[in-house]
Structure 1
Amino acid sequence: MTPTRRPRTSGPRSAAFAAAAALLIAAPLAQAQDPHLARNLAATCANCHGTNGNARGDMKPLAGVSAEKILAAVADYRSGNQPATIMHQIAKGYTDAQMKLIADYFAAQPAAKK
């Protein structure tokens, strides 16, 4: 009687596959559960658009601007309809869901008093 070969179910490859699968499954859940995700994503905009979207100087403020208006502007940057020095690249770096979180965050921020 010859021994039958069983598929290999352990070892470095299967462990790596299991770890990768767990990360793919858990990543969206972790994002959905982070109550600060929108704020953290929006913080990347502070260099140009100011803290919480309250820009200084000639930069466009984002605080208090409707989410729909922000998303429309981002869509124009992504498509190239709106010329930009860097925004067209930045806008392509976020998913639609991330941009929605960012836009909603800025829309909820109070505009700076002048």
Structure 2
Amino acid sequence: MTPALALLAALAGGTGACAAEMRPPPGASSCSGCHAEGSAMGVLAGRPEAEIVGALEAFRTGARPATLMNRIAKGFGAQESQAIAAWFAAQGSR
């Protein structure tokens, strides 16, 4: 956690909603490995939420062919996909 985020978490009481919103939702860590800054797969942070949700759904249903993402996306339900997409979309505004 950066010093600025640590300060915000401390000011919010460390356990409040603000601190919880800073943590990625379960499953987001499986995205970060391939979609890191400078990766060939492209960065997810700051992309529109609807775009990420749509891509996950397309991979999950097979509408968008893939070698790995289709298997990863099948592990996420609709609510998990929405939470992951919302978190990554918000990362561009920080």
What's the TM-score bracket when you normalise by the shorter of the two chains?
0.5 to 0.7
**Structure 2 match to 1:39:** 24
| Distance in 2 between residues matched to 1:78 and 1:37, nearest whole Å | 27
Count the aligned residue pairs. 74
More helix by share: 1
SS at match of 2:38: coil
Structure 1 residue ranges, 4+ long, deviating more than 2 angstroms after superposition? 35-38
Change (3 A) 1:109 1:85: same
Task: Flag the structure with more relative contact order, 1 or 2, with Cα contacts below 8 A and sequence separation at least 6.
Answer: 2
Cα deviation, 1:62-101, whole Å, max 9, x if unaligned, reads 1101110101111110111111111001101011111111
- What's 2:90 paired with? 108
Paired-residue identity, %: 36
Query: Are the equivalent residues in 1 in contact too, given 2:25–2:83 (CA < 8 A)?
Result: no
Does structure 1 conserve the Cα–Cα contact (< 8 Å) formed by 2:24 and 2:87?
A: yes
Q: How does 1:1-114 map to 2 (within 5 A)?
A: 35=20, 39-41=24-26, 42-50=28-36, 55-110=37-92
What SS is found at the alignment partner of 1:49? coil
Counterparts of 1:89 and 1:37 in 2: how far apart (Å)? 27
Partner of 1:58: helix, strand, or coil? coil
Task: Give the Å deviation of 1:110.
Answer: 2.0
Report the residue type matching 1:69 in the other structure.
Answer: E
Letter in 1 for 2:83: L
Partner residue, 2:6: none
Deviations 1:16-74 (A, max 9, x none): xxxxxxxxxxxxxxxxxxx3696042122111012xxxx32311211101110101111
| Amino acid across the alignment from 2:29 | A
